[in-house]
Amino acid sequence: MQALTIRIGTRGSPLALAQTQEVRTRLQAAHGPGAPAIEVRVIKTSGDRIQDRPLSEAGGKGLFTKEIEEALLAGEIDLAVHSMKDMPTVLPAGLTVACLLPREDVRDAFISHKARSLAELPAGATVGTSSLRRQAQVKRMRPDITIVPLRGNVETRLRKLEEGVADATLLAVAGLRRLGLADRITSIVPTREILPAVAQGAIGIEIRAADFATAQLLAPLNHQPTAIAVAAERAFLAKLDGSCRTPIAGLAELAQDGRRLAFRGMILTPDGRQCHETSREGRPEEAILMGEDAAAELLAKAGPDFFGASG
């Protein structure tokens, strides 16, 4: 393969840069001496600029991708590295997710100096999070707990916890591991207790749909089991028309032999008082249909006013 320069667009947070470095490392491993030179371009997004209020109030999903996607469409970069949980379900015309890297741990981490788990927090304790999904599931488990807003990148949220802003917080295990901060985890929350965000732990690489050369370059990096699971989860989210303004959780898991796919989905009101959940099992090639069917069931269960009431 001829040497060339690939321009990667990314957010500037330590986690985003760590994810970009993972893409760089995998490209070099896949193509050896013929690997392209890589130029990293940091792009500040609306989600990075807005720090004074929850993103759910500022416009929801897309705030961490909009400016990067504009640079991609303008030809200023060749590919974009994203946390898939930040990606809107409908991409701008002309863009596509070309590949997904092997998924990290999907679970949430409980972090606290005052308790070993959510269940062990004292009555009336505070949990810091700006995720409506986490808020709703925490309130469902522990209605006595007070939620306090906690924005910022992973390091900022950990610092705020040290400063006593809250008694505990929840962060994605994947992000902590990618940043080398797994030692900060007090305990890992089982998915039966708190279901993850759709596509949590998955890194996606977005390109221009007509850029076949870059697609070919990225093809060896695609991890098909991750792609199958994320397809089911994103189909679920899309059918629900979900954004970060609505507490939605979903997880698809492929059996080790690759023959069966299990899916669990959940929608809640932000106070956790109302919750509807469902599960599916089927063949991997049915991933998208499974996600859509699960969403249709929850929409029917919840009724037309559920999402309006939960906003």
Could you give the residue numbers annotated as active site?
Answer: 86
| Cβ pair 16, 80 in contact under 8 A | no
The count of residues in the chain is: 311
| Cβ pair 278, 264 in contact under 8 A | yes
The terminus-to-terminus CA distance of the chain in angstroms comes to 51
Q: Which residue has the tokens 């995720």?
A: 131
Please give the angle made by the CA atoms of 120, 121 and 124, to the nearest 5 degrees: 140
